[in-house]
Structure 1
Amino acid sequence: MLVGSLLLFCLLLCTADGDSSCEHATTPKESLCTGCPPTFNGLPCASTTRYNDMTKGACGCGDEPNPPDFWTKSKYVSAGNAMLMDPEDPLNSWCPQNCGRCFQLCSTGGTTNGVSPEPGICIVTMLENRCGDGYLEDNGPYLCGQELSPWRCIEDPAACQANKATNMFGYPAHFDLQDANLQVTNGLGWDNVEVTFVEVSCAQGDFGDWNTDCYCPHAL
């Protein structure tokens, strides 16, 4: 009876955490996502970081430099990885085709290399910049160097298994979150957290007037 109880405890413990089964070089500190592409509660997973950038970004929003209270610096906006921003031309660093698309991100409770967050905290973020970290670099893929788009990974799990199809942590998408007003660090308490992602209408978020403030056209 004791052996059976210990076995059950071990099974529960061993399945408590997960990790992407896509080929990747670095194991996340704590992941709740499993499979390839990795999912959590039926939704695809992504990695996140945070950054502070006062420029117009790849989508040409505002002035140069922007004031800290400009909406692309104070709202939940982000730089998407190269293949998320423009699957047809991932090297394009000016007006990539997915400028202005919006995604709901929800914390899983996991983190790549930071502090594990409270699970189930959700935001809507708008893509207004590009992260090309590691794309086609010899020692990549790092965080933003995925060589497949997240949509291709979801549609073709076999292709998603390949080396460099996902990033260094095994995620098909990465969101580098603007933190100029500490809206991520202090507001959310997020520290490089693991999230699920799903595309949503930008009307579900809180943003400024893209057509007035941004040079690049909003994605359809």
Structure 2
Amino acid sequence: MLTNEAAQHVIYEIMKLYPDAVPMMRYQNPFQLLMVVILSAQATDISVAKVTDQLFKRYPNPQAVIESSPEEIESYIKTVGLYRNKAKYIYKSSCQLLEKFDGKVPSTRKELQSLTGIGPKSANILLNVAFNQEAFAVDTHVARICKHHKIVEENATPKQIEKRVTEIIPAKYWGRAHQSMISFGKEICTSRNMKCHDYPQLYENLEEVDPTDSIDAV
């Protein structure tokens, strides 16, 4: 496993490759993002994007959801993987929003994770993207990158990956790092035919990395 300084260097180099990376998710408010996050689990961005326009139009708020049914929600998202479970999650979480949070998506980690279908990764995405809070989400791309580049051990859990990354880079970079790593994971450090060897700057002189290195200097 890399030293803290070397691991930080690798993450910063990935951020330099994608300095303008932004969330690809389409949403206009925290509730829409909540539904997108639920739909995104084990699904492609393309499949989710295809259903959101009609979904948002039919269900503009939690009240509209609970006046519907999981079965009706299924009809809007049936092209997305695991759609039956996700329809139930959207319905149940909407009920919880109305029962516990006056119909509004909460902005704390504990409250978010109390919602059906929202785990640590989803909560971190909502905190960072919807509420502009410092949080680092670990999805499959981030996990693959961190393991392949020895930022963490091969058997590291998502919680361990989150802990490691948030310990070695400042909190103000967490959101940027997450977005850059997603782009890097989709285009370069892919699950098949990795192209990381085409970017030697990730690996060069790791023994001589300046511990005061900052992405802001780039």
**Greater fraction of residues in helix:** 2
TM range (shorter): under 0.3
Larger-gyration structure (1/2): 2
**TM-score under structure 2 normalisation?**
0.20
**TM-score under structure 1 normalisation?**
0.20
